[in-house]
Chains A and B, each alone.
Chain A
Amino acid sequence: MSDPSLQEPSRSRSQDDASDVIPWGAPVAATILGALLMASFVIFSVVTGPGEAGTVPTALPATAQQATGFPDGYAAVTGTVAFRADVIKAGSDRVIIFVSSAVIGGRDPASVTLPEVAAWSLRVPGDEAGMVHQYAAVGVPGSVTIEFDQMLLPDSVVLNAILPGTVEHVTDRVLLPGSLPGTLSSYTITVGDHTIVIDELVIGDTWGSIRWHLEGGIAAKVEVVVTLDGTTDPTVLTSSHAAPLDAPIGSPLPPLWNTRGQALLAPTGQALSESSAPTGITVEFFVSVVTEPGVSVEVPVVSVVAP
């Protein structure tokens, strides 16, 4: 026989336990409902894009909100840099385009690098042209001037910046006799399915020049280092940046992508041996070729100036 005094408390505890059991069904359902509602909101935000009421910008911290803009009329080519064609000038024998760049709001321009553009294309109704070349200058970092062969320019023009996609690199070496001036012409360097043609390389005691062009491919950079061998202090000539057709020798400017180039060579370093006759000449070519295009971005045009 059980002791009622023991059963009662036991039963009492059992009843209390029963009354403390939480009905988890409602909270679990509420969790799922809340998640579903927010998921629906997220999907709506992604589909409708920025600028819609109640989308992500309101949820981002203030610092992120400040870094959302470029100056008027600029088109983003990367997440941090945008381009704009400020002026197009149509001359008698060529079209010249002046492009400026801008860093996104909230970023220090000194911490952002100008994106490389492999090639530019200019499209007008019924016609399209690729650039002849592009060049930069020390005094105007962030600006690029582009040249096209002469073409009719109606009001409607579309400028596209084609970023580098696949890039291949090749180093090539040629040994020449020591007699000066040394020359090399129509020399080819193969890069994948593409060919760099060294149209003319002329080497003097402390001077030289190079001219090259690309066959196939999107664009190339060609740098050359010439060493006059057999002297105690060999003379080294370099174009520094032979490719861009723009930079003064020794300029800190990075080379730009082009389909052809021409530059003078100059001595580098302190050791010069102008009066010494070399026993041989070593020519090293450092070649890069954009073999496949990357993203193409339409760059807004502000004004077209007729000749």
Chain B
Amino acid sequence: MKAQTVSLTIVAFLIGVLAAGGIGVRVIREVRTDDVTRSLPGSSITAPTYPSSGYFVDPDETLIASTAVIPLSVRQDGSSLSIRYDLVSRSPIAGMPDTGPFLLPSKWVLRIGSTMIEGGPADPDTRVALFDLPQGARAAEIDVVEIINPLAAYPLNVFFGLSETNPRVEIIDGVSIELLRVSEEGANTIVHIRIDVGDPAIPMIWIEGAGPGWRPAVREAGRLRVDLTWVGGDLPETIRLRAHGTQWIEIEGRYRVSIGKFG
């Protein structure tokens, strides 16, 4: 076989491989797209993996549910150490208002040698974890930083009743609704309600009447108080209400936070 024929044979072989390969890649993509979007029997679902980059938002992220905790800085001032962080949600939000906070890493622990130091943010809007270090300890000596049992926000919807004999009801852990008083304004009856929440996690909660006879509620600006207007005649002995908004739920687990780059 001449050299020219050999060359042609090699080129032809490669053309065959490439042509079939091009078609094959499309076939595989189609098949695997079908696998993901239309054929999802539960038993076939496997534990997902990180992107090939190894992270979703930031190389130093700690993923809690679908929210990334990203350390931004570590600062020591005497024995006071602060870790400033950001929260970035990976939940789909197209067409919806992007609100927050949706994650509250309320309890942090760092370890220096055998010493454990607890810390945490003061409230959901403060994205700074504060620690009081032992005398002489330095940030560079920190071995481990962890978030313990963080709180995540989920929708709330609870129906409940209040009355003069039962004026206070705990609707969820740490959140109680209290009947303050009932007043008359013309033909209407005003029911004054107070939302009593635990510290520091203050969820977003609205109260409204349940069933006919109620006008939309008015929440007093800046206060956890709500005035409800009843126009349904005599006020029932048990006032049926509905609480909705968000609530904090604890997600059990220890989540290690990487602050190595600030060392």
- A298 adjacent to chain B (CB < 8 Å): yes
Docked Cα-Cα span, A79 to B92, in Å, equals 13
Is the pair A297, B9 in contact by a Cβ cutoff of 8 Å?
A: no
- B97 adjacent to chain A (CB < 8 Å): yes
Nearest to A146 among chain B residues (CB) is B155
- Chain B proximity of A107: nearest CB distance (Å): 9
Chain A residues, Cβ within 8 Å of B72 = none
- Looking at A10-18, A217-225, A245-253, the stretch in contact with chain B turns out to be A245-253
- B206 adjacent to chain A (CB < 8 Å): yes
Nearest to A40 among chain B residues (CB) is B20
- Residue among A49, A68, A80, A86 with max Cβ neighbours from chain B (10 Å): A86
Docked Cα-Cα span, A270 to B12, in Å, equals 75
- B221 adjacent to chain A (CB < 8 Å): no
Interface string of A129-172 (1 = CB under 8 A from B): 00000011111111111010000000000101000000000000
Chain A residues, Cβ within 8 Å of B157 = 135, 145, 147, 245-246
- A26 adjacent to chain B (CB < 8 Å): yes
CB-contacts of B12-57 with A (<8 A): 12-21, 23-25, 27-29, 31-33, 35-43, 45, 47-53, 56
Docked Cα-Cα span, A230 to B9, in Å, equals 88
Query: How many residues of A are counted as interface, with CB atoms below 8 angstroms from the partner's CB atoms?
Result: 103
Chain A residues, Cβ within 8 Å of B211 = 209, 211, 262
- A112 adjacent to chain B (CB < 8 Å): yes
Is the pair B16, A31 in contact by a Cβ cutoff of 8 Å?
A: yes
- Chain B proximity of A15: nearest CB distance (Å): 16
Is the pair A264, B208 in contact by a Cβ cutoff of 8 Å?
A: yes
- B152 adjacent to chain A (CB < 8 Å): yes
Is the pair B32, A50 in contact by a Cβ cutoff of 8 Å?
A: yes
Query: How many residues of B are counted as interface, with CB atoms below 8 angstroms from the partner's CB atoms?
Result: 85
Given contacts A26-B1, A46-B27, A113-B95, whether A140 and B48 have CB atoms under 8 Å apart is: no
- A303 adjacent to chain B (CB < 8 Å): yes
Is the pair A69, B50 in contact by a Cβ cutoff of 8 Å?
A: yes
- Chain A proximity of B82: nearest CB distance (Å): 27
Given contacts A143-B154, A202-B212, whether A110 and B5 have CB atoms under 8 Å apart is: no
Is the pair A31, B28 in contact by a Cβ cutoff of 8 Å?
A: no
Is the pair B31, A46 in contact by a Cβ cutoff of 8 Å?
A: yes
- Looking at A1-9, A70-78, A189-197, A280-288, the stretch in contact with chain B turns out to be A70-78
- Looking at B109-117, B129-137, B245-253, the stretch in contact with chain A turns out to be B245-253
CB-contacts of A16-34 with B (<8 A): 22-23, 26-34
Chain B residues, Cβ within 8 Å of A160 = 42
Is the pair B16, A76 in contact by a Cβ cutoff of 8 Å?
A: no
Docked Cα-Cα span, A47 to B130, in Å, equals 53
- Chain A proximity of B104: nearest CB distance (Å): 12
- B209 adjacent to chain A (CB < 8 Å): yes
Is the pair B51, A67 in contact by a Cβ cutoff of 8 Å?
A: yes
Docked Cα-Cα span, A303 to B32, in Å, equals 30
- A273 adjacent to chain B (CB < 8 Å): no
Is the pair B24, A27 in contact by a Cβ cutoff of 8 Å?
A: no
Given contacts A39-B24, A69-B49, A137-B245, whether A113 and B94 have CB atoms under 8 Å apart is: yes
Is the pair B90, A30 in contact by a Cβ cutoff of 8 Å?
A: no
Given contacts A141-B98, A302-B251, whether A101 and B92 have CB atoms under 8 Å apart is: yes
Q: Which of A38, A145, A295, A300 contacts B20 (CB 8 A)?
A: A38
Offer 6 A-B interface pairs, CB within 8 angstroms, sorted by A: A29-B9, A42-B25, A70-B49, A100-B154, A114-B92, A247-B244
Residues of chain B having any CB pair with chain A under 8 Å = 1, 4-5, 8-21, 23-25, 27-29, 31-33, 35-43, 45, 47-53, 56, 63, 65-66, 89-100, 102, 152-157, 204, 206, 208-216, 231, 244-246, 249-252
Residues of chain A having any CB pair with chain B under 8 Å = 22-23, 26-39, 41-42, 45-46, 49-50, 55-56, 59-60, 62, 65-82, 84, 86-87, 89, 98, 100-103, 105-106, 109-114, 135-145, 147, 158, 160, 181, 200, 202, 204, 206-209, 211, 245-249, 252-254, 262, 264, 266, 295-298, 300, 302-303
Known pairs A211-B211, A252-B97; list 9 more (Cβ under 8 Å): A30-B12, A34-B16, A34-B17, A35-B20, A69-B52, A76-B36, A137-B154, A141-B92, A262-B210
